[in-house]
Each structure stands twice: as structure tokens, then as C-alpha cells.
């Protein structure tokens, strides 16, 4: 059994802001049915670039639902500039922490938010920069380097917990180890 905080349980059993959002002018999607979790985030942003409403649709485990629900609660009322600074730790902290193996749920929230902001600003997110390391979950070396630096990750297990990379077929685990080493070498 996962060790979820009362807040995670509450947001899973009573998720806030579920559903499509009428009049949404920013949408961010991340994950897929194959990956086992996915989040579609809807925002209504006013002319001052303030998020006046946010809803979500999520497919995934309890912590994925709770992270999505928490995300919408956190960002309502924020300006896009402030929202852009939100990290996965902010989502996890709001929930009183997530089990380490579930941190990728909070990363998914941050990623959907980034995409929604880009969507609103008309920024095209083209092919991801960097080289794909994990084919199963479509994770690049640059994403791994970012996560290693931001969260002080040490091992391939850590990377899997945060990005899912390496958690599928496992063929990329050696490559992930190399990327971790290079990220740490660069400081």
C-alpha cells in the first residue's frame, strides 16, 4: 500500500475542479494512455494574463489525480508569469509530500502547466530538444539533466521516480546512468 498523506487521499477522493472548462483559452496535455497516466489541464486566462479558472481531466493513479487537483487549486488567481515559476516540488509540498516513486505525478502537473502557458502565448512547442533516452516514456537527455540538477537525483531509480524514464522495458538504464554522471560532472 502506498503511504499517502491525508491531503493526497482527500484530493483523490474529493478532487477539486474536475472536468472540461467552458471558455478555456489555454490547454496543456501531457502523458498518454500507454504510459499509464495523462493529464489535460484547462485554463481560463484574462487579459491581464491572470488565471481566473482552472480545471483538469486525469487518467492515472491516486497521486496523479491528487496532483492534478492540487495544481488547479494552486494556480487559480496566479498570473501566468508566476505560474510559469511553479515547480513539481510546489505541487508535492501542497499535498504534504508524495511517495518518492510517485514524484512523476507532480512532474506531470508541472509539465501540463508549462504546455498550457505556451499554448496561451501561442508558442509552438516543437520537437523536444535533446536526444530521446527512454523510448517507453519519451524522455530526453536534457530533461533528465534538468531533473537531476533541480532535485539532486543520484541514481537511476531516482530518475525513474521523477520522470518514469527507465521504468518500462529498462533498456535505457545504462544510458540514464551516463546522463546522470555527465549532469553531475557539469555541476
Partner 1 sequence: MRVIYTDNNATSKVAGEVIDEMMPYFGELYGNPSSMHTFGDEVGKKIKQARQRVADLINADPEEIVFTSCGTESDNAAINAAIKAFPQKKHLITSTVEHPAIKNLFSHLEKTQGYTVTFVPVDKKGRLNTDLLYESMSENTAIISLMWANNETGVIFPIEQVVQRANERGILFHTDAVQATGKIDIDVKKVGVDMLSFSGHKIHAPKGIGVLYVKKGFKFTPYLIGGHQEGGRRGGTENTAFIIGLGKACEIAKQNLGIMNTRVRELRDYLQSQLLEKIPSTSVNGVLDDRLPNTLSIGFDAVEGESILLLLDRDGICASSGSACTSGSLDPSHVLMAMEVPFKSAHGTIRFSLSHYNTKDEMDLIVKNMVPTIEKLRAMSPFWKDGKVV
Smallest distance, partner 1 to C-beta of residue 47, A: 28
Q: Which stretch binds partner 1 (CB under 8 A): 52-60, 79-87, 115-123, 124-132?
A: 52-60
Distance CA 166, CA 157 (A): 8
Distance CA 115, CA 125 (A): 8
Nearest to 68 by CA among 13, 9, 11, 136: 11
Smallest distance, partner 1 to C-beta of residue 129, A: 24
End-to-end CA gap in the chain: 36
**Residue selected from 10, 49, 59, 89 as contacting partner 1 according to rule CB under 8 A:** 59
Site for partner 1 in 99-128 (CB under 8 A): 101-102
The answer to whether the Cα torsion of 20, 33, 96, 3 is positive or negative is positive
Contact set with partner 1 (CB under 8 A): 2, 12-13, 15, 18-19, 29, 33-40, 56-62, 64-65, 101-102, 136-137, 160, 164, 167-169
Active-site residues, by number, are 35, 105
Amino acid at each position: 500500500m502506498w503511504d499517502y498523506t491525508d491531503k493526497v487521499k482527500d484530493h483523490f477522493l474529493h478532487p477539486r475542479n474536475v472536468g472540461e472548462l467552458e471558455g478555456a483559452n489555454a490547454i496543456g496535455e501531457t502523458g498518454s494512455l500507454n504510459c499509464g497516466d495523462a493529464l489535460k489541464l484547462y485554463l481560463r486566462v484574462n487579459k491581464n494574463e491572470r488565471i481566473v479558472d482552472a480545471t483538469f481531466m486525469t487518467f492515472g493513479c491516486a497521486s496523479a489525480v491528487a496532483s492534478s487537483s492540487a495544481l488547479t487549486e494552486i494556480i487559480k488567481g496566479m498570473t501566468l508569469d508566476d505560474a510559469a515559476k511553479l515547480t513539481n516540488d510546489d505541487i508535492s509540498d501542497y499535498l504534504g509530500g508524495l511517495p518518492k516513486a510517485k514524484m512523476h505525478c507532480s512532474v506531470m502537473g508541472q509539465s501540463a502547466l508549462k504546455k498550457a502557458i505556451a499554448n496561451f502565448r501561442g508558442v509552438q512547442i516543437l520537437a523536444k530538444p535533446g536526444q530521446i533516452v527512454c523510448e517507453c516514456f519519451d524522455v530526453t537527455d536534457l530533461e533528465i539533466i534538468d531533473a537531476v540538477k533541480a532535485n539532486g537525483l543520484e541514481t537511476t531509480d531516482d530518475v525513474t521516480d521523477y520522470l518514469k524514464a527507465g521504468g518500462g522495458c529498462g533498456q535505457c538504464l545504462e544510458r540514464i546512468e551516463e546522463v546522470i554522471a555527465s549532469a553531475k560532472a557539469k555541476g
